Homo-oligomer: A and B are copies of this chain.
Amino acid sequence: MFRGANKVTLDSKGRLAMPTRYRERIVERSNGRLIATVDLSDRCLLIYPLPDWEEIELKLRRLPTLNPVARRLQRLMIGHATDLDLDGSGRILIPPSLREYASLTRTAMLIGQGSRFELWDETNWNESREQWLKVDETAETLPPELEALSL
């Protein structure tokens, strides 16, 4: 499982050094093969080890092609899914189109989220975080799955 928030930098070629504490696990799980795609609700990227992504892709592909909502999901997620391999120095290369999507400049945040990472532009991340903290969760109506949640 991936955990924690890491400040990372993209160099001029768009390369990102994966923090070392994750490298071993990634190599173990997928031989260094990762997939990056776009997040639908926020302008950030999702990064999965290949086998974890393949499960998701399978779920997406089974959806009915003529359903517009399903089609949209497929186009956005599968359509942006890009193979990223760890290079000899443990870096991955984020392609320009994905960099652009998430407004990634030089400093970014790599957030461990269980089986995947999220990659945010640093400024974006900080602003969003402030927003989330401001909202009074209890004031909103919670879906039933959350009502029962004990943390």
Contact = CB atoms under 8 A, between A and B. Distances in A.
Contacts of A76: 129, 132-133
A69 B146 contact: yes
A74 interface: yes
Given A5-B97, A70-B143, A75 B132 contact: yes
A77 interface: yes
A61 interface: yes
Given A69-B143, A149-B59, A75 B4 contact: no
Given A69-B146, A78-B114, 14 more contacts: A3-B79, A41-B68, A63-B143, A64-B143, A67-B143, A72-B132, A72-B135, A73-B146, A74-B114, A75-B111, A76-B129, A77-B151, A79-B112, A79-B118
